[in-house]
Amino acid sequence: MSPEKTLEAPDPAATPTHEHTRTGMSKDALNRAFIDNLFYVQGRFREVASPNDLYMAAAYTVRDRLLGRWIKCAETYRDSKARTVCYFSAEFLLGPHLLNNLVNLGITDVAGEAGAELGLDLHELIETEEEPGLGNGGLGRLAACYMDSLSTVQIPAIGYGIRYEFGIFDQVIEDGWQVEKSDTWLKNGNPWEILRHGLRFPVKFGGRTEQYHDEHGTLRVRWLADMEVIGVGYDTPILGYGVGNVSLLRLWKSEACESFDFQSFNVGDYYGAVQAKIEAETISKVLYPNDEPSAGKELRLKQQYFFVSCSLQDMIRLQLHTVGPLDGLADKFVAQLNDTHPAIAIAELMRLLMDEHGMGWDQAWGITHKTFCYTNHTLLPEALETWSVRLFEKLLPRHLEIIYEINRRFLDEVRVRFLNDEGRVARMSLIGEEGGRRVRMANLAVVGSSAVNGVAQLHSELVKTTILKDFYDLWPERFHNVTNGVTPRRFIAVCNPRLAALITETCGDDRWLTDLNCLRELENYADDADFQGRWRAVKTAAKRNLARWLTKHAWVTVDPESLFDVQAKRLHEYKRQHLNLLHIVSLYQRLKQDPNLPMVPRTFIFGAKAAPGYHLAKLIIKLINAVADVINHDPQVNDSLRVAFMPNFNVQNGQRLYPAADISEQISLAGKEASGTGNMKFSMNGALTIGTLDGANVEIREEVGEDNFFLFGMTAEEVSRRQAEGYRPWDICRDDHELKSVLDLITSGLFSHGDTTLFRPLIDNLIHQDPFMVLADYRAYLDCQERVSRAWADRPRWERMSILNVARMGKFSSDRAIREYAEKIWKVKPLPVSL
Ligand code: F58
C-alpha cells in the first residue's frame, strides 16, 4: 500500500490507531501518549525511567485529555452571560489527582489495560503521587469536594486560593510521639498545574494613606504602601464526572516585585534586595496549621489579604475584558467566603472599586454586599477570628479606614433599629474592645455579605441563637443552612472500587454516581442473604487491604475478621479521641480482670494529626500509641483487642480507611462539631456510626433511621444546661468505680514504663476541668459500645444495617449541597457543556 493511499483512505477497522495521541481514549492512543510524554516531557526512555518519571508521563497523558475539555468549557463559559461562582478559600485539600481524574474521565479500566501492555502497574503509578495537602482538615476538604461538584453539576466556577509551597506537615510517629516533617509536595514537579506567566497582580502592604482631589475635584484616598509583592496564578483543571464541564482552580504564588529589586540594587543595597525577595516569597511558603495561637500571626493576615486581593483583581480583569462595565460585577460573579479567612475581601473590593476604579461609597457598597456570601464553620469561641487593630494599621491601613467607615454606617443602622441598646451595639461592632481593640472578622463577614450559612441543621440553628444571634435579630432573612456533603466519586468510586462495582451491578447502571439518591435501590436487597454475603465480602477485602498497609506502615498486625472500629479526623479535645481511649482501657482492664470474659474481637484504629503547638493533643497521640504498645504486646488480651495508629492521616490514607471501617466514631461533645464530613464518608462505605447528636450526625441518623445508628450522650441543650449548673467532673469520677480505676491505671505508669507524671496533665485536665465533658458521657458511651458488640454478633442484622446506611446516604452528596447553594444562595443555574 502506498503512503498516498493510506492518507486518502484510512482503514476503518484500524480507527483506534488514528485517534489523536493527546485526546484519544483508546488503549492504543493512551499508550502512544504515555511513551510520547515520557520521551518529550520527561526526556526519558523506559529502561532508565524512575517511578516518578513513569508517574509524570501517566499524569501528563491524563492531563492532555482534560485540557481539550477545559478549553471548550472555558469558551462556553466566556461566551455566556451566566453568573460564575468564585469560591474563596485559604485551603483546598485536594488529595491525589491521577485516579480521580481517570474515574471522572471514565477511563480507569482502559488505562489499566494500557499500562499492563507496557508492563506497568497502574496501581503503583497511582501510589507514587504526592498529594497536594493544601488544607488542615474538614474545611479544606469541603472546598475540594465542592469544586468537584461544581463541575459535575455544571455550574461555572473558579476556586481561588493559595499555592502553598509546603502544605500540611507530614506526620511520623517516633517513640509514640507525633513528629512533624515538612511537606515537600512540589519537589518532583506538579503535572496538574499550569503556570500563567501573564497573570500577575501587584499586592501592597504597609505604609500610609493620604487624601487628594482627582481631576473632577472629588476627594479621594490613595494608599502609599511601603511593600509590594506580585501574585502569580497557577491553574489546575477540576473535571466533573461524565460531563464536559471543567472548573478552574486558580492558586496564587507570591513573588518579589522586580522594580523593588532593582531599586535596592541600584543604590547598591544588594542584601536589602535579596531580603525583600525572601520576604515576598515567604507569603505563600507554608500553610498555617490550625490551633496555633492567633496572636502575632502577621504572616497569616498577609496570606489572607494576598490571595483575596489577587483574586478580586482577577475577577475585575475578567469583568472588564469579557463582560462589560464594573457596575455589573455582582451580576457576573458571586464570591463565597469559606469561613472568615478571606473576609478581608469585603474591604478590599470596596478599596478597589473606590480608590482604583473611582466609584462612590454607595455604589461600591451595593456591589460588594451583593457579591459576597459567608459560610461559618465553627461555634468554638476561640476559633472565631479577630485581628488586632494595631496589626491592621501596620499592614493594611487603608482597609482599616474602610472597616471603620463600614462600622460607623452599620452601627447607625443598629441604633435606629434597637433604640437605647448600647450593649447590643458593642456586641455587634466590627471592633471588639475586650483585651485590646480587635477587628472581628465574623462580624465583618456578616455585615458585608448578602447570605450567611451554617454547615448542618443543628449548627445553623446554633449560629442563629448563639454567636450571631444579634445579627439574626437584625437580618433574619440573611441566614440559611446548607448541610455539608462529600463527593461520591472520590469517596466511593475512587476509594472503594469493589463497592462501586457491586452498587452499579445492583442498581443496573452507574447513575448513582451523579444522583446518589439512586442508592435507595439497595434497600430492596438489605435482607437478601446472597447479597449480604457479597456485601460482607467487599468489606472484608477492604479490611484485608488496610491490614496489609498497617503491617507495612504502622508495624501492627490486625485480624480482618475482627470488628474495625475507626476514628479518623484532626486531633482535638472537642472531638474526644480520649473518650474512645477510655473505652479501650476499660475493655483492657475488664479482660485483665477476667481473661475468659466473652468479648467481640475488636481492632481500634486511629488516624489524627495534632497542631504542632497543641500540647494536650500531642499527649493524646502519645497515649494512644502507649496503650497500643501495651495491649498489642499482651498475649492475654491481644486475641480480642488490638490498637493501631495510622501515621499521617491525609486524603490518600483516609481513602484506605473509609472502605475498611465497620464502626465510625463520631463522638464529639454535642454542639461543638459544626458538621463533620468524615461521618458521611464512613457511612457511605458501609460503616455504622456510633455518635452523639452533633453536627450532621443528627441528619445522618434521621436519614438512615434510628435503628441503624448507635446514639449516645448528652444533647447540645443538656450540655448547656449542665455547664450552666456548674459541671463537676470529679463527682462523676468519684461515683463511677470503673472510670476511676481506668484513670488511675493511666496515671499508674503502666502505659509509660513506670513514669507516673507523663499523662498527668491529661488526667488532671479531665478530673478538674474536662472542658468537653468526656467523663459526663463516659458511661453512656460504654453502654452504647456494648450495644455495638451485640449487634456485631448478629451478622445478618449487622449487614442489613450496613446496607441501609449506604442506601440512605443520598442526601450527603456534595452535588446536593452545591445545588442548594446554587438555588438558595448564589442564584445561579447550570450551564451544561457537552462532551
Ligand atoms: C471544619 N472546620 C469543622 N476548620 O470543624 C467541621 O465540623 C466541618 O464539617 C468542616 O469544617 C466543613 O464545614 C475546619 O476544618 C479548620 O480546619 C480551620 C483551618 C484554619 C484555621 C482554623 C481551623
| Tens-digit pLDDT profile for residues 714-744 | 999 999 999 999 999 999 999 999 999 999 9
Point out the domain boundary residue: 453, 481, 509: 481
290 & 408 share domain: yes
pLDDT at residue 291 greater than cutoff 80: no
pLDDT number for residue 449 = 98
Q: Which protein residues touch ligand 1 with a CB less than 6 Å away?
A: 136-139, 142, 290, 377-378, 383, 455, 484, 673-677, 695
pLDDT number for residue 79 = 87
Instruction: Identify whether the C-beta of residue 61 lies closer than 8 Å to the C-beta of residue 37.
Output: yes
pLDDT number for residue 205 = 98
Give me the percent of the chain exceeding a pLDDT of 70.
Answer: 96
Edge-to-edge strand list for the sheet holding 451-454: 194-205, 227-239, 246-256, 157-162, 84-88, 333-338, 372-375, 451-454, 479-481
- Average pLDDT score, the chain: 95
166 located within any domain:
yes
497 & 359 share domain: no
Instruction: Report, as an integer, the average pLDDT of 700-709.
Output: 98
Q: How far, CA to CA in Å, does 587 sit from each of 434, 564, 631, 776, 779?
A: 47, 15, 10, 18, 13
824 located within any domain:
no
Instruction: Report, as an integer, the average pLDDT of 631-653.
Output: 97
Q: Grid coordinates in use for 807? A: 442506601
Active-site residues, by number, are 377, 569-570, 575, 677, 681
476 & 617 share domain: no
Phi and psi at 291, nearest 5°, equal: 65, 15
pLDDT number for residue 38 = 97
Selected residue with higher pLDDT from 8 and 237: 237
447 & 343 share domain: yes
Nearest protein Cα to ligand 1, atom 14: 139
Instruction: Identify whether the C-beta of residue 699 lies closer than 8 Å to the C-beta of residue 673.
Output: no
Q: How far apart are CA 582 and CA 646, in angstroms?
A: 19
Instruction: Identify whether the C-beta of residue 421 lies closer than 8 Å to the C-beta of residue 470.
Output: no
Instruction: Report, as an integer, the average pLDDT of 286-302.
Output: 80
Q: Which atom of ligand 1 is nearest to the CA of 383?
A: 22
829 located within any domain:
no
CA of 415 to the centre of ligand 1 (A): 34
92 & 57 share domain: no
Strands (DSSP E) contained in 444-536 are 451-454, 479-481
Nearest protein Cα to ligand 1, atom 22: 290
Confidence of residue 7 (pLDDT cuts 50, 70, 90): very low
pLDDT tens per residue across span 241-289: 999 999 999 999 999 987 655 555 566 777 877 888 899 999 999 999 8
pLDDT tens per residue across span 188-238: 999 999 999 999 999 999 999 999 999 999 999 999 999 999 999 999 999
Instruction: Report, as an integer, the average pLDDT of 384-404.
Output: 97
297 & 392 share domain: yes
386 & 418 share domain: yes
469 & 494 share domain: no
Could you identify the residue written with the cell 450522650?
713
Range of the domain at 520: 489-815
Give me the percent of the chain exceeding a pLDDT of 90.
Answer: 92
Nearest protein Cα to ligand 1, atom 23: 290
User: Which of 62-71, 82-91, 273-282, 396-405 has the lowest average pLDDT?
Assistant: 273-282
288 & 379 share domain: yes
Residues with Cβ within 8 Å of 506's Cβ and at least 6 positions away in sequence, in order, are: 521, 522, 525, 531
546 & 603 share domain: yes
pLDDT at residue 610 greater than cutoff 50: yes
835 located within any domain:
no
3-state DSSP helix/strand/coil % of the chain, to nearest 5: 55, 15, 30
Instruction: Identify whether the C-beta of residue 644 lies closer than 8 Å to the C-beta of residue 554.
Output: yes
Q: Which atom of ligand 1 is nearest to the CA of 455?
A: 13
Instruction: Report, as an integer, the average pLDDT of 3-13.
Output: 40
610 CB-contact burial (10 Å; exposed 0-12 / middle 13-18 / buried 19+) = buried
822 located within any domain:
no
pLDDT at residue 90 greater than cutoff 60: yes
pLDDT at residue 671 greater than cutoff 80: yes
Q: Which atom of ligand 1 is nearest to the CA of 695?
A: 7
248 located within any domain:
yes
State the Rg of the chain over Cα: 28
pLDDT number for residue 17 = 55
> What amino acid occupies position 368?
T
CATH of the domain at 771: 3.40.50.2000
Q: How far, CA to CA in Å, does 525 sit from each of 431, 504, 508?
A: 58, 13, 13
827 located within any domain:
no
CA of 672 to the centre of ligand 1 (A): 11
CA of 306 to the centre of ligand 1 (A): 21
Point out the domain boundary residue: 457, 481, 505: 481
pLDDT at residue 544 greater than cutoff 80: yes
pLDDT number for residue 268 = 72
Residues with Cβ within 8 Å of 193's Cβ and at least 6 positions away in sequence, in order, are: 163, 234, 235, 236, 251
pTM across the whole model: 0.96
Per the structure, the count of domains in the chain is 3
Instruction: Identify whether the C-beta of residue 162 lies closer than 8 Å to the C-beta of residue 231.
Output: no
Instruction: Report, as an integer, the average pLDDT of 299-322.
Output: 97
262 & 403 share domain: yes
Q: How far apart are CA 761 and CA 766, in angstroms?
A: 9
Q: Which atom of ligand 1 is nearest to the CA of 673?
A: 7
pLDDT number for residue 406 = 99
CA of 624 to the centre of ligand 1 (A): 23
111 & 157 share domain: no
pLDDT number for residue 294 = 56
pLDDT number for residue 792 = 98
Q: How far, CA to CA in Å, does 819 sit from each of 146, 155, 362, 577?
A: 10, 9, 32, 34
pLDDT number for residue 1 = 33
Strands (DSSP E) contained in 397-527 are 431-432, 438-440, 451-454, 479-481
Of 89, 340, 377, which is best to mutate to test ligand 1, by the most ligand atoms within 8 angstroms of its C-beta?
377
pLDDT number for residue 269 = 78
Point out the domain boundary residue: 437, 453, 481: 481
667 located within any domain:
yes
pLDDT number for residue 690 = 99
